[in-house]
Every structure is written in C-alpha cells, then in structure tokens.
Amino acid sequence: MKTQLIPLLFLLGSHAALAAGPDAHAYAPGHDARVVLPLTPEERAIILDEMRQFLDAVQKMTAALARQDMPAAAKASRAVGQHMGHAVPPSLRAKLPMEFRQLGNSVHRDFDQMALDAETLGDVSYSLTQLSATLQKCVSCHATYQIRTPALNTQR
C-alpha cells in the first residue's frame, strides 16, 4: 500500500503543478530543460560573481528603502549599473547567447535608472516597483539558463 501511495502522490503533485500554471516553477526530478551555457570554470566564476553582486545590491537597496534612505538606495543600485558590464571579458561575452546578453544589459540599465529615480523622485514605493520588475528579469533568466562547466557536465 505504501509503495502505491508514493507514485500516486507524485502524480497528484505533478497535476497540481500543471494546474498552477507556468509560474509554479515545478520541475520533474532529474530533468532540467533550461538552456545550458557551457562555460569554463573561470567564466562560470565571473558570471556567478556578477550575480552575487546583484544580490548584494538588492539587499542593500531593500534595507535602504526600508529606512527611506534614498541616497543609500541610489548608491547600492548604481554599484551594479552599466559600468559593471564592461568587466566581462569580450571572449566570454561572445560565448553567451544574444538573449542572455540583452537581458543582462537591461538589468544593468534598470539599476542605473533606479539610482537616478531614487535620487530625483525620492519615492520608496516607486523604487520598490522598479526593483520588483528588475527582479522578475532575474527570475526569468534563472528559469531559462543554467551554467555548466565541463566538470559539471560529467555529473549528469
């Protein structure tokens, strides 16, 4: 009875995830349909470092916005603006799909715009709305792409 119950629960969970729609982020165990970005360990480290800098900026921005400290929110946002994209080596940039690069560039532009708007408008609610829209781009990217190095490819 117990062994029959587990597959039934799995099927019910799968159907519930499908019914929840595309934003449910339900994945079948062992299956990852995201686009693979085959990078060297060094290239992977560069991309992951950039993502950690984004996350650090988001944390600093939300803390500043909670205090209604718009200059601090602007400073955190500007730290990951378009100037940061120039740190990616041209050889790595050339390996990345155009859509990935466009999405990344739009995120950098968003952070520059958030910094400008935080300074000029001083509206916490508006800044949070902008940040939410930018974070949706992060979610979309992570749902679309995965980074693998040759060493990681052998594990699957």
Give the residue extent of every domain in the chain.
33-153
pTM for the whole structure: 0.76
Between 133 and 86, the more confident residue is 133
For residue 17, what pLDDT is reported? 40
144: confidence class by pLDDT, cuts 50, 70, 90: very high
Cα within 13 Å of Cα(23), Cβ side: 2
Neighbours of 127 (CB within 10 A): 23
- What's the CA gap between 15 and 63, in Å, rounded? 39
Tokens of 127: 């800044």
- Tokens 């050339």 correspond to 94
What mean pLDDT comes out for the span 41-63? 96
Q: Class assignment of domain 33-153?
A: mainly alpha
Lowest model confidence (mean pLDDT) among 59-73, 90-104, 109-123, 142-156: 142-156
Give the mean pLDDT of the chain.
83
For residue 69, give both structure tokens.
Answer: 């400290």
Please state which of the ranges 15-19, 50-54, 88-92, 112-116 shows the lowest mean pLDDT: 15-19
